[in-house]
Amino acid sequence: MVHMGQTTRPMETAFDGLATACLFADIDGRCQHLNLAAQNLLSLSARRARGQALARLLPHDALPAAVERAWSGQSITLRELAIDRVIDRPPLMIDCTISPFGAEASSALVVLEMTPTEPSFRMAGDAPFEAVSAMAAGLAHEIKNPLGGLRGAAQLLERELPRAELREYTQVIIREADRLGRLVERMTGSRQPLMRGKFNIHRVLEHVRRLVGAEAPIDVEICCDYDPSIPELSGDEEQLVQAYLNIVRNAAQAVVGGGIITLRTRVRRQFTLRAHRHRQVLETTVEDTGPGIEPALSARIFLPMVSSRADGTGLGLTIAREIIDRHGGAIDCDSAAGCTRFNIYLPMAEQ
C-alpha cells in the first residue's frame, strides 16, 4: 500500500488548502491523511491520525458499510452522524460523504468529506416560519395602500403651506412613507413568480461577492472555495442573487472590525432534501469569523423581524429562506463564537 505521506506530498498540500474537512483512508480501513480542516474538526494532528483505524477515529455503526460501497465505486452521504468524543464532551454531529479517490489500484483511497452540523437547525421551525411569514406578507399588503394615500396627502398639504419651515414637516412624512414603502417591497418581493432558467451558481456568487466587497469595510476579506465541476442549475437567477446577497451581507455586518467570509460550493450525493432523495444536491456555505449568533436568537433567526442588530429590519434572512424554499431547497445555520455557517441546499437536475 502506498502511503500518502511518502509519495503524494503535493496532493496533501492541495487538500490542506480546502476548508472542507477531508479524511483519506486505505483499503485496510486506516487513515492515510487528514487535511488541516479535518485536524481542526477532530482535534487531532495528521501525524497522530495516520495509520489509525477509521473505527477508532470515527466510531459509528453506519460508516463501515458506506466505506465498503465507496470501494465498489459508489458515493454515499450519511447525514447527522453522532461521533462520540472524549468524556464530558457532546458527540460531534457531522454530515459525511464517502467517495472513491484515485484511479490506480496501487494507490486507491476513499475520501470522507465531513461537514459539522447541528440537527436542531435543520429545517427547524418550518410551521412557525410559514405562519409568521404569511402573517407578515399579509400585513405588508394591508399597509401598502394606506401608505400611498398618506404620502399623497402630505404632498398635497405641502403645496398649501405658505412657509418653507412648515414644509419641512411634510418632507419628514414623505421620507418616512418612502422608507416604509421600501420595507413593504422587501417583505413582499420574494413572492414574485419564479422566472426559471439555466445559470452557473459561481456567476451568482461572484456577482454577490463583488457587490458586498464594494460596500464592506476594507478589513473584511471575502474568500472563495468553489468546486469548478458543478454544472448549471435551473432556477430564478435574479431571486437567488437576492437570497445570497442577503446572507452574505448579513455575514459582512457580523464581522465589522475585521474578519473573513468564505463562500464554498460542494456537491452532496444521495442527499435527502424535504423528504425527497436526490442523487445530487448543491451545498453552498457562507461562513464568517464573526462573534456568532446569540443562542436565544438561533432558533428564530429566519423569522421576520428577528435581528441581533439595533438597526436591523429582520427581513434579510427571512426573504432568503423563502426564496430558497420556493426553489425546493433548504437553509440552516450553525453558529459559535468565531465561526458561523449558513448552509444552503438546492436540488440539482438529474443528469
pLDDT more than 90, % of the chain? 28
pLDDT given for residue 222 in this prediction: 95
Residues in the chain: 351
| Overall average pLDDT of the 18-45 stretch | 87
Q: Sign of the C-alpha dihedral, residues 191, 193, 194, 195?
A: negative
The CATH number of domain 197-347, selected from 3.30.565.10, 3.30.1360.170, 3.10.250.10, 3.40.50.10680: 3.30.565.10
> Helix 126-160 vs helix 316-326: angle between axes, to the nearest 10 degrees?
120
Reported as a pLDDT band with limits 50, 70 and 90, residue 24 is very high
pLDDT digits (tens, 9 = 90+) for 54-113: 999 999 988 998 999 888 888 888 888 888 865 546 788 888 999 888 655 555 789 999
How much helix, strand and coil, in percent to the nearest 5, is found in the chain? 45, 25, 30
Predicted pLDDT of residue 238: 86
**Which residue carries 465507496 as its cell?**
70
Helix axes 316-326, 237-254, angle to 10 degrees: 150
Give the pLDDT score at 202. Answer: 96
Pair type for strands 109-116 and 330-336:
unpaired
Average pLDDT over residues 327-341: 89
Residues 6+ apart with CB under 8 A from 175: none
pLDDT at 180: 73
Collapsing DSSP states into helix, strand and coil, what is residue 21? strand
- The three-point CA angle 298-301-306 to 5° equals 120
Q: What is the pLDDT of residues 249-301, one digit of tens each?
A: 999 988 978 899 999 999 988 887 766 778 889 999 999 999 988 877 776 77
Diameter over CA atoms, the chain: 92
Q: Which residues, listed in sequence order, are joined to residue 114 by a DSSP beta bridge? A: 21, 96
CATH of 4-117, one of 3.30.56.10, 3.40.50.300, 1.10.540.10, 3.30.450.20: 3.30.450.20
Which of 17, 42, 58 is CA-nearest to residue 264?
17
Torsions phi, psi for 2 (to 5 deg): -90, 130
Residue 267 has what pLDDT?
92
Distance of CA 10 to the CA centre of its chain: 30
What is the rounded CA–CA span in Å between residue 265 and residue 287? 11
Each domain of the chain, given as residue ranges in start order, spans 4-117, 126-189, 197-347
- pLDDT number for residue 344: 95
